[in-house]
A = this chain, B = another copy of it.
Amino acid sequence: MRQTDYVILGLLSESPLTGYQIKKLIDIRFRFFWSESYGQIFPALKSLCTGGLIEETENADEKKRSRKTYRITPSGLVNLQQWLKLPVERESVRLEILLKMYFSHLTEKAVMLDHVLKFQEAHRQDLQILTLFENELKKIVDAGDNHPQVLRVIDFGQRVNEAYLDWCRETILFLESGSNNETKNS
């Protein structure tokens, strides 16, 4: 069982979905802390089916062979719950922009400024999407569900993205001040 399997089990624990929908959900809801490609999702769906942790819903309309909808099985739910209890292992973060920042005395400040501006723009968007999602959740009052937990996840995203943006502001000041060019061997 890979991590991909558990993401899928988790999403299917909320409602039945197709592989395509799973991908879309991950891209939107989990965008700031997770990602999966089709190349992982579809094989995972197949193997989860084989293992009996999920199953295809039988559509009334039998002829539609495309658009397979999957749902979690009782045994899948048990598996998911067991995984939740396991200690969190992997935590991987790879930010190329910091690598470039670290070595950026070897190039012009304008180059780095450009990178930071793009980074800033990307994370402004992340923050916006996050806030949209938060408002949507808060409108739906039939709590009972996993809303409080999801709000904790959104809060994480907001804090981190705000930290990113604060850093961008200060770093932009740094890069705009001083000499415009810091190249060593110019």
Contacts and interface: CB of A to CB of B under 8 A. Distances in A.
A67 interface: no
A contact residues, range: 35 or more
Interface string A4-29: 00110010010000000000000000
Contact of A102 (B81, B92, B149, B170): B149
A80 to B, nearest CB: 7
Interface in A87-105: 87-105
A135 B185 CA distance: 29
Given A118-B87, A119-B88, A34 B94 contact: yes
Contact of A88 (B3, B88, B97, B171): B97
Contact of A153 (B32, B34, B102, B119): B102
Q: Is the interface of A mostly helix, strand, loop or mixed?
A: helix
A138 interface: no
A171 B167 CA distance: 24
A116 B160 CA distance: 16
A98 B130 CA distance: 14
A91 B152 CA distance: 23
A148 B177 CA distance: 12
